Structure 1
Amino acid sequence: MSIDFTLTSEQKKLQDTARQFAQDILAPVIKAADEEQDTQKAFTMMQTPYQEAYKLGFAMGFLPKEYGGGSVSNIDLQIVAEEITAVDPGFATILLVNGLALMPIAWYGNEEQKKKWIGEATSDESCNYLAGWTVSEAAGTPGGTANFDHPGKHPVGIGVTAEYDKSNGEYVLNGRKYWPCNAGGWDLQGANVNVVIVRTDPNKGGKEGLSGMIVPKGTNGVRYEQPISKIGHRLCQNNSIIFENARVPEENVFAEGNGDLIIAKAFTWSGPVAAIAAVGVARSAYEYVLNWSKTYTAGGDKPIMNYQAVGYKLAELAMKIEACRAFSWKAAHYLDQFDSEGHAIGAMSKVFNGEILFNGVFQAMQVMGVNALDKVHPVEKYLRESIVFPLYDAGNVGMQMRKIWGVMADPNFDPRAFMDSKPVEFKKSMEGWTAVTPSE
């Protein structure tokens, strides 16, 4: 079978639709929202574009068709995500976090949970429905999210606890989450639903003691603080959330004892999306600087594009973008083949593209020299956006590299599996690498 990178007519139409949305609806509101100092107001400025994205299927299209979604392939998601992230990756994060939150219910939830929560998300007539992916926690001693699979008991690793109350069949949540996206909702009173990773057994480590918890809006005992003010991705909402004896019915628990697998697979699914987001941002930086270099003379007698130093830098960046797009598509195609079970290659694409293209955006700025610092040009924003990629999704060094390492360390790992498109089963034994110090 031949390898063909040509978009089908349907994919080309999808690309055109996404590009038109990004340029005509999203782009006009980005500059003012990015400069807005009130982080919640900046987020709410995205509500109208979000509603249009929802109507187009960009907010929930990746969810299973049998529950109202579009069953959009990971490859088709790449096409849409690149066009939107080329304008603003923070807005794209709002859309895609719906998948991080709700795809775990599709993978691990029971039939009743799938029908209720995914069906609700895909049938919102107001087109405002938001799902929060509520995993991350503040760094501390102990603390942080990257060590979610640490074998130590609470409070090591995930710190939010969910104690079962037998008297009324409820779980009681206590603790704090920090950094989750979409969790506060448009009114800072909560997303329509938050999928929260909690410690259901404080005496067990991260491989046995974690579970998924579906927390709907209006749950008593949940408090949302002002969203975090960030360098980049300013238009997505990152929250600090306080749980104080918040009660959730037991039917809202899923993947009990396997919350670690939820985290691992969700951040696998998002890996190629983060990878193509890096492509989108770098593409915008490259295209802007390429056009600028064809007219700017720097006081000379011809545009700087005529000089070798400029030509070589831009040529190198163009090559990096093409290579990284191919890697994104390869990883997405692999996930399509194996129901998103591509933990190593998903992480590889995220790590490689994010770090290569962060440097690539700075490379474009070097062509402009000191002019790149002038905010009349958009390249300083591209740099701020690109710095996010190596740091989020529990970070490249924090979690993604550990995941790749864990897969590779398995005695049965086939180093040609990705080249030959063979499945690689992810096992709990692949978790926890470097989570334990040598002395332990």
Structure 2
Amino acid sequence: MSIDFELTTRQKQLKGRVREFAREVVRPAAEYADSLPDPQQAFLAMRPAFRQAYSMGLATDFLPKRYGGAGATSVDMMIITEELAAVDAGFPTILLVNGLALMPLTWFGTEEQCEKWIGRATRLDNPDFLAGWVVSERGGTANFDHPDPTAGIQLYADHDRRNDEYVLNGEKHWPCNSGGWDLQGADLNVCIVRTDRTKGGTAGLSAIVIERGTPGIDYQVIDKIGHRTCQNVTMTFHNVRVPAANLFADGDGDLVINRNFTWSGPIAAIAAVGTARGAYDFALKWAKTYTGGGSTPIINHQAVGNLLAEVAAKIEAARYLSWKTAHYMDLHASEGHAFGGMNKVFSTELMQSVVDDCMRIVGVNAIDKRFGIEKYYRESVVYPLYDSGNLGMQRRKTWGVMADDAFSVDTFADCEPFAFKKSMEGYGLQPKH
């Protein structure tokens, strides 16, 4: 059969290895970290687990073999991410953002840039290596492709031709990993900047690499209700000077944003599946033992049994959509912009409803922190909002692809390639002519 949902022997071994690591190492670290009031201390509490994940290759496996990675497939990433997210949602986000920062170099960077920075990430002598993906601003990211240069991305990078440097001024809000373990900066941050103040979002944006130790950047940690084990910060840039050689995707920063969030779409979707699976596992065990003051466990009541059946079916549906999307991304080098968007939106919002149903099965005890299921609820509300928000970005990206005359309802069913173009951007920002 050409269609096969069975994991290979290698993938089953990968699943077992990561599940053991998640349960034995990540879970206890995350439970402790989540209880800490200081968000930076919560992040730091995950450092030993991150080092172990790094030694296992989980922080770099997705990178190409020619730069020291393992060339893991997107489907492999589905397996890894679900197992980690089933015990904690924030920890796999740290790993995901390493990819969000480094993968654009493989698509848009020069060979020299890839060898320099990706090679640094894959060296086994630095198990603390962090990379940050720096795109969102206080005004949001959704309007990054707006034709008005005063809208969208407003972190300016002005070219100082005399010194062949870019001078950055402005602010970024929500970048993950970017402050580093000591709030002195990640090993490298990949920033989307406005390099042309006169052009709109489809021509005036670029990407630039900022290395750790670059002066002029302030980091302020953001306190969140969920995903507390990963770090998000506000970055303020004061005349930050970066060598011109660090620039890439000149004038194509919009394509970097779209392709990057396409690559991460199924990963975010399967992370939501993992979180929902964790809540489902809790609710199922609860239903089999808890009587609610009655004479029999509540799973024997029709209302609970029916709801659990729906929960199980929704998780399976979201998982297989994520696997199919990942398979498509592997076939077409992450050029599945509408598919990635649909997957991220459908799965994260469906899984949020699944966790809510699990809370209802457990009842009022679900909001008691001693039982632990409330953490899944806090994590679930994050998914539709982060990693390219569903309402402002992912749906709009899908819309732009589907509006193209060449798009067919069979495109994804048949796994046909469909390249993303700049003409697909800008939908919903102003009337199309």
Task: Please give the TM-score of this superposition, normalised by the length of structure 1.
Answer: 0.97
Q: 1:387 aligns with which of 378, 381, 402?
A: 381
SS in 2 for 1:317: helix
1:44 aligns with 2:44: yes
The amino acid of 1:166's aligned partner reads R
Give the 3-state SS of the residue equivalent to 1:164 in structure 2: strand
Superposed CA RMSD in Å reads: 1.0
Aligned equivalent of 2:149: 153
Aligned counterpart, 1:428: 422
1:191 to 160, 163, 186: 186
What percent identity do the matched residue pairs reach?
Answer: 56
Residues 291-332 of structure 1: CA deviation (Å, up to 9, x unaligned): 111111111111111010000000000000001100000000
- Superposition map of 1:141-180 within 5 A: 144-154=140-150, 156-180=151-175
Secondary structure (helix, strand or coil) at the match of 2:345 reads helix
Q: For the Cα contact (< 8 Å) 2:173–2:233, is it kept in 1? A: yes
Tell me, what secondary structure is at the counterpart of 1:270? helix
Question: 2:318 — aligned with what?
Answer: 324
Aligned residue pair count: 433
Shift of 1:148: 0.4
1:278 partner letter: A
Q: In structure 2, what is the equivalent of residue 211 of structure 1?
A: 206
Query: Which structure 2 residue ranges, 5 or more long, are not aligned?
Result: none
CA contact (8 A) 2:216 2:238 kept: yes
Residue 246 of structure 2 is aligned with which of 252, 263, 275?
Answer: 252
Quick one: which amino acid aligns to residue 153 of structure 1?
P
**Structure 1 counterpart of 2:301, which letter?**
Y
Q: Distance in 2 between matches of 1:196 and 1:432?
A: 21
Asked if structure 1 preserves the Cα contact closer than 8 Å seen for 2:400 and 2:424, the reply is yes
What is the CA–CA distance in structure 2 between the aligned matches of 1:148 and 1:273, rounded to whole Å? 22
| Whole-Å separation in 1 of the counterparts to 2:281 and 2:25 | 20
Identify unmatched segments of 5+ residues in structure 1. Answer: none
Instruction: Find the counterpart in structure 2 of residue 88 from structure 1.
Output: 88
Query: Is 1:181 aligned with 2:173?
Result: no
TM-score (norm 2): 0.99
Q: Deviations over 1:370-394 (max 9, x none)?
A: 1111111121110100001111123
Runs of 4+ in 1 over 2 A off after TM superposition: none
1:124 offset after TM fit, Å?
Answer: 4.3
Q: CA deviation at 1:231?
A: 1.0
Q: Does 1:78 align with 2:72?
A: no
Query: 1:172-201: per-residue Cα shift (whole Å, max 9, x none)?
Result: 000000000000000000000000000000
1:113 corresponds to which residue? 113
Deviations 1:73-113 (A, max 9, x none): 00011001000010111010001100000000011000100
Confirm or deny that 1:238 pairs with 2:232. Answer: yes
Partner of 2:397 in structure 1?
A: 403
Q: SS where residue 297 of structure 1 aligns?
A: coil
- In the TM superposition, what is the alpha-carbon distance from 1:269 to its structure 2 partner? 0.3
Distance in 1 of aligned mates of 2:385 and 2:429: 18
2:81–2:92: 8 Å Cα contact kept in structure 1?
yes
Q: Secondary structure at the match of 1:172?
A: strand
Alignment of 1:350-361 (within 5 A): 350-361=344-355
Shift of 1:437: 5.4
> Structure 1: which amino acid aligns with 2:191?
V
